[in-house]
Amino acid sequence: MSIGILKSNPILKCDSYKLSHGEIYPKNITGMFSYMEARIKAETIIPFGIQMWIQKNLMTPITIDNIDEAEIFAVTHGEPFNRKGWEKIVNVYDGYLPVTIRSVPEGTRVLSQNIIASVECTDPELFWLSSWLETNMQRGIWYPTTIASNDHKNWRAIRKYAMETADDLSGVPFSLHDFGGRGVSSGETAEVGGAAHLVYFMGSDTIEGIRAANFYYDHPMAAFSVPASEHTVQCSFGPTPSGQRKYLEAMLDNFAKPGKIVSIVMDGYDVYRETQQLCELKDKIVASGARVVLRPDSGDALEVIPRLLKQVEMVFGYTINTKGFKVINNVGILQGDGIDYKSMVEILELVTSLGYSSNNIVLGSGGGLLQKVNRDTYKFAVKASAILVDGKWKPVFKDPVTDPGKKSKGGRLTLLHCKMNNEYLTVNMDTPYNSEWEDAMQVVYENGQMFNHTTLDEVRSRAQA
């Protein structure tokens, strides 16, 4: 029986078959270039997570112990093992991968079917590293980039409704709260996906993601939360009206302070009854100077939310903003269940069609935000596109007759940015271009060193420009 924690071995962060490829390639190859793209058509891609992936995976040197373990595993597993190559990495390159990784600055809005990252190795004995990195690199980038790209759509939709119905846009960054920590497959998923959510938003309860954004992207505090109850708290007071009255009073007594927000779960029993009880505490709420957010969650949000808005509007009153929409005094609604892009837009469309500003609503999402995605959401792929033979780069690509959508690009590629119209274009590196264009990619890793470090503020600035 094994006791303890399985230590990571960087050599084995690949698919099994990658271990057998070193001896298969033509003998005259001395270099290889691979690239990453989202193959889906006509979607905006927001690259994110590259810096975090490099720091977590490429900045710890490979050791002889790693090689010994990997060799035993590979041989026992039924795969050959290139011990000579890995020993060269340790003995010549101090354990760091002798590759060059270039990427688009994180947060840059790039149209799909363009290169966003590349890896190149020109050590003639180790050129295969370019392809060996595929598994590790792809999963390290596709997931956070997918979350950030989805949030680009979410942010645009929320901002659209706010611009149409609200005087104050300062609430937009807090309008989609991350509740995904418990709904994802692992702590690392929460860490990586939770950090990616913070490219566009600043509300989160996923602590792993906040800490990752703070640490890897140099931010003192990337997201914020508020005191909030959950059903364990609500139901501890019992289902009776008197018990629920005590629950509401306890939340207000503990957390309702001037200028603060307190979030109260309401659907443990009868959300309409408890909302009525909260309305009876109007004087207490108004006197506290706090904003109370009701969280209904259960049931059909398109039925429950309008009824609750009407309930609290009749007691707390409202103002009409300059755009002609109601802003309810002292209270708001947080819908934190069943939220994805489709339901979010449906709720905002309904609420605003009833004459309420979108500022009355905050949305929270868990699995719909961080878990209900996969590599094919945007059809991400990493493919070798060029090999170095006799000192010259030769394009290589796939072109399946049965699936033209899987055709890959050939050549040693980069991404150009047009300064005149903000267009991006994937081209071969030796393609000439005039002063209207600039190379949009930069070196972020080379032979054990990181370059062009970016901060979360810089990423946000690019993504939200």
3-state secondary structure the chain: CCCCCCCCCHHHCCCHHHHHCCCCCCCCEEEEEEEEEECCCCCEECCCCHHHHHHHHCCCCCCHHHHHHHHHHHHHHCCCCCHHHHHHHHHHHCCCCCCEEEECCCCCCEECCCEEEEEEECCCCCCCHHHHCHHHHHHHHHHHHHHHHHHHHHHHHHHHHHHHHCCCCCCHHHCEEECHHHCCCCHHHHHHHHHHHCCCCCEECCHHHHHHHHHHCCCCCCCECCCECCHHHHHHCCCCHHHHHHHHHHHHHHHCCCCCEEEEECCCCCHHHHHHHHHCCHHHHHHHCCEEEEECCCCCHHHHHHHHHHHHHHHHCEEECCCCCEEECCEEEEECCCCCHHHHHHHHHHHHHCCECHHHEEEEECHHHHCCCCHHHCCEEEEEEEEEECCEEEECCCCCCCCHHHCCCCCCEEEEEECCCCCEEEEECCCCCCCCEEECCEEEEECCEECCCCCHHHHHHHHCC
* Domains observed in the chain: 10-145+378-463 (3.20.140.10), 149-370 (3.20.20.70)
Q: Which pTM value belongs to this model?
A: 0.96
Q: Which pLDDT score, from 0 to 100, does residue 22 have? A: 78
Q: Which pLDDT score, from 0 to 100, does residue 315 have? A: 98
Q: Which pLDDT score, from 0 to 100, does residue 169 have? A: 96
Q: Which pLDDT score, from 0 to 100, does residue 320 have? A: 98
Q: Which pLDDT score, from 0 to 100, does residue 38 have? A: 98
Q: Which pLDDT score, from 0 to 100, does residue 405 have? A: 85
Q: Which pLDDT score, from 0 to 100, does residue 374 have? A: 97
Residues of the chain with pLDDT under 70: 1
Per-residue pLDDT reduced to its tens digit, 21-56: 878 899 999 999 999 999 999 999 999 999 999 999
